[in-house]
Amino acid sequence: MTHAAAAPDTAGHALTGPPDIEAMRANVRRGLVDAPSEIETSQMDALVLALRSHMELLIPEVEAMAGRQPKDSILRHCALACVGEARRKLRLGNGLTMPVRGAVVQKLARSVNALTDHYENLGGTRA
């Protein structure tokens, strides 16, 4: 099975292969460790877009992997709860002020972090 990569190529076409977990975790670190108030607006917009793309890629992957677990599996239930929360976070707006934008970045980054953890715990591999 092929997987779309975390970002499109320069022509806008989806790449194939497993998700690039290391790149996703690097963006998570930028969103959680770097002070969002110190990130420029254009960088913040790019980070939000990247985090949303990571979530859109990971949500169906984690959901499918969790679905292959036994119905009474705690791992399955935790992963599916994470997927539901990530879907709710995708509905967040980007925010009109920098403090709100920073909060959105942190929320998206935490969701990507949780999704990558579940992806690996369910047997996914790093690219």
Tens of pLDDT, residues 42-58: 888 999 999 999 999 99
The reported pLDDT for the residue numbered 40 is 81
Query: Cα separations (Å) of 80 from 1, 22, 39?
Result: 21, 22, 32
> Are the beta carbons of 20 and 5 closer than 8 angstroms?
yes
**Given CA atoms 65, 67, 68, 70 in this order, what sign does their dihedral have?**
positive
The reported pLDDT for the residue numbered 98 is 85
Confidence of residue 90 (pLDDT cuts 50, 70, 90): very high
Give the residue-averaged pLDDT of 95-110. 91
| pTM of structure | 0.83
**Given CA atoms 15, 11, 83, 103 in this order, what sign does their dihedral have?**
positive
The reported pLDDT for the residue numbered 4 is 38
Confidence of residue 41 (pLDDT cuts 50, 70, 90): confident
Confidence of residue 31 (pLDDT cuts 50, 70, 90): very high
**Given CA atoms 49, 53, 54, 59 in this order, what sign does their dihedral have?**
positive
Residues 6+ apart with CB under 8 A from 67: 76
pLDDT of 9-23, one tens digit each? 333 334 467 899 999
Q: Would you state the structure tokens that stand for residue 113, as one six-digit string?
A: 């972090």
